[in-house]
Amino acid sequence: MKQAEDRPSEKGRELATSAHNVQERERRAAIQWEPLEFQGETTRRSLWGIFLGVVGLLLLGLIIYLAIAQKPTTRSGTIESIQQGVLQISRDQGDSWQPTEEGQTIPQGISIRSTTGTWATITLPDESLMRIEASGMWKMPELVGKGNRLRITIEQRAGRASFVSPPPRKTGPSRFQIQVAGTTGELVGVATVITANDEYTHIRVLQGYCTLGPTDDPIEVVAGETATIDPDSNIIVTESG
């Protein structure tokens, strides 16, 4: 009797299991599966993004480097010697004049004046020289550059001084300019510049040459010649006496 009672129970469980399996198959059939994405494509996109990011950083670094490398650096000259007389400097217009001494630096923008009988030598950052040979006044408006390519500009307002441009270099010449009333000269060599009280300036070229006037119509003064610049900026070149 007990076995007969158990049989219907087992059959019922079998029917329930079969019905459950049918329902599970129907549920699975109703599911909308998402298609599989190709993993290789995802990997390539990711690597391409990383590559573009690295290239962008490298380009940014290159731009910053070039901006810094091309930016001119302010330099300074040095008072090499003061054989006699007095040399003074002033940092700003209206500022008091201060005495100088050998070994003192001469920064960009400084003004210099000398007393009668002064004989002093100043070395400039491009290895050029300036020798003050009398009383006078000068200004250093430009002492800048990078490496061997420097720009040196000296403004002579009064007095007498001799200048020696920097030695030639394989990397290209530096620019050495002398500004006087009426014109600007670019010196390659050695010259003595005298600015008299009557505002006439005489540039006597001892070695090399000096180019005067506008770049579109320059006047070249060579060794053995003297250029005289009058107050009206007229330039007359004659043989040195």
Given a cut of 80, whether residue 15 has pLDDT beyond it is no
Q: pTM (2 decimals)?
A: 0.67
- Among the listed ranges 84-88, 149-153, 214-218, which one has the minimum average pLDDT value? 149-153
Question: Is 144 in a helix, a strand, or coil?
Answer: strand
The Cα–Cα gap between 129 and 166 comes to 8
For 127, the 3-state DSSP assignment is coil
Beta carbons within 8 Å of 209's beta carbon, 6+ residues apart: 188, 189, 220, 221, 222, 223
CB neighbour list of residue 203: distance below 8 Å, 6 or more residues apart: 178, 180, 185, 191, 192, 193, 210, 212, 221, 226, 227, 229
- 């403004």: which residue's tokens? 155
Cβ-contact 205, 224 below 8 angstroms = yes
pLDDT tens for 218-238 read 999 999 999 999 888 899 999
For residues 154 and 184, give the distance between their C-alpha atoms in angstroms, rounded to a whole number: 10
- What's residue 2's pLDDT? 44
Distance CA 124, CA 40 (A): 64
Which residues does 135 contact at the CB level (< 8 Å), separation at least 6?
A: 85, 113, 114, 115, 116, 117, 118, 158, 159
> For 29-52, how does the pLDDT look when each residue is reduced to its tens digit (9 = 90+)?
555 545 444 445 555 566 667 767
Contact of 142 with 114, CB cutoff 8 Å: no
Tens digits of residue pLDDT in 166-213:
877 665 556 789 999 889 999 999 999 999 877 899 999 999 999 998
Residue 7 to residues 3, 115, 211, Cα–Cα distance (Å) = 6, 134, 124
* Amino acid 95: pLDDT: 81
Q: Tell me the CA end-to-end span of the chain in Å, nearest whole number.
A: 152
What's the rounded Cα separation, in Å, for the pair 215 and 237?
17
Give CA–CA dist 160/135, Å, rounded: 7
Predicted pLDDT of residue 121: 95
pLDDT at 3: 47
pLDDT value, residue 151? 79
